[in-house]
Amino acid sequence: MHKTWILGLIGALALTTSTFADAQGTTLLEQMSSAVAELAEKAKPATVSIKCTSCALDGEYQNPFDMFGDDFFKRFFGPQFPQGQQQQISGGSGFLVSSDGYIVTNYHVIKNATQVSVTLDDGREFTATVKGSDERTDLAVVKIDVDGLPFFHFGDSDHLRAGDLVFALGNPFGLEGTITKGIVSAKGRQDLGIATYEDFIQTDAPINPGNSGGPLINVRGEVIGVNTAIFSRSGGYMGIGLAIPSKMVQPVIDQIMNNGSVKRAYLGIMMQPIDKELGDALNINKTDGILVSDVVKGSPADKAGLQQGDIIVQCNGKPVKNVTKFRNEIGMMSPGQSVQLKVMRCGKPKTLTVELGCQNDGEVMKADLTHKLGIELENLTPEWAAKLGYPSDVNGIVISKVKPGSPAAMAGLRPTFLITGVAVDWNNQKPVKNIAEFDAALQELGDKKYIILIVRQQNYQRYYTIKLN
């Protein structure tokens, strides 16, 4: 009797505890659900749909209902229609950053648009004016003439951690006012060939065609990124989305809103990473820092005394370990700003102060083209010539690195190939003996869709045609 009573009491307590736990769990889920719903209610009114009209020529028409055309890093636009001039309608997303109608989106959303219209979450539609854009970060600002609008504030993307909850807003496949949830998968994704300056946040928050230009927000409703691209082999969501971090977005859009354009700082050097092989060859025990492979004559770096062969190990007291990150940091600074560089020269430390200049169109074009080609270059030194077996009378620049999957790689270029000239056109073929002459030849290309390199491989020389995306 006593034993039966004890067992009954234990069963009752277990049932009560289980019921209480279920109730507690349900309450927590309800609280979480309510918090996300409130976040969506606050965020959606500041997210907009963008529709662009433009004229497409020579097969560049894109299907507005299938906003992808590539198999790799997908921009939110679509496959080509037949040749001939046609009206192109494309779409994307954006978000308000001021109460008087300033909207941030991607550059590729409004690229070549002859008319831009913005639809708010409440259904009102306005014609927008493009206030400025920056192709090198894939950002743009448009404006509508209306006041009293809800808008987003920016959060600090530097404080993000892998695993943090994030939410993507936008208009996937034209379905307006959509929000999806995920986490930060990784930070600092670079060298993807999407933009000149890259430092992407990777997220698994579902992002689909039409989300491009929309905000990626944290749990406080702050914008910590601009949705820009996805990795997909099917044209749809596959768990890898990429967003431009807010720390890169803010200085760019501030310049556009205040000045209508973006001016970047300029150092004036060619750089390359120090891998183990190069470190061993130079008798460097560790591979921290980046190697200065060339210094542009008359540049801020040249005036400050930076030399070819210097190894930059610190910038403003912080370690320098990555070429792309260092280039991004310099590019995000203001012209006229001074930076302190610690370099190793012949094994001895040296500190230099450089007053940064301002990139001009020629310098930007050279940086863009080299990046788009996917190659790194070095002058043909006697050491390189001896290593590659070239006689002393051979001139050119050595391809030291080719990025896999890049236009240069697809064209067949490989490391150790020697670029001896650039064919601006058939009647204007420029021989190049060093990187400076190569840069000068690139400036004559203008807006050509192709670049023709004259390349030598041992005793053979041939033309390589590379299409620029």
CB 168 within 8 A of CB 143: no
* Active-site option among 134, 138, 199, 204: 138
CA distance 398 to 420: 9
Enumerate residues 6+ apart whose C-beta is below 8 A from 234: none
Q: Around 126, how many Cα atoms within 13 Å sit in the side-chain half-sphere?
A: 19
Active-site residue (options: 49, 133, 185, 212): 212
Q: Do 59 and 83 form a contact (C-beta atoms < 8 A)?
A: yes
**Which structure tokens are listed for 441?**
């030849």
**Which is the catalytic residue, given 49, 54, 93, 108?**
108
Identify any residues that bridge with 36 across adjacent strands, giving them in sequence order: none
Q: What radius of gyration do the chain's Cα atoms show?
A: 27
| 284 vs 347: CA distance, rounded Å | 8
Name beta bridge partners: 183.
Answer: 165
Token pair belonging to 214 = 């929309």
Q: Is 108 a residue of the active site?
A: yes
Q: Using CA atoms, how far apart are residues 70 and 235, in angstroms rounded to an integer?
A: 8
Distances from the Cα of 121 to the Cαs of 93, 115, 280, in angstroms? 11, 20, 59
Q: Cβ of 9: how many Cβ atoms within 10 Å?
A: 10
Asked about 293 being catalytic, the answer comes back as no
Cα–Cα distance, 105 to 228 (Å, whole number): 9
Active site residue 310: no
| Alpha carbon distance 270, 296 (integer Å) | 8
The two tokens of residue 211 are: 């989300």
The residues that are catalytic are: 108, 138, 212
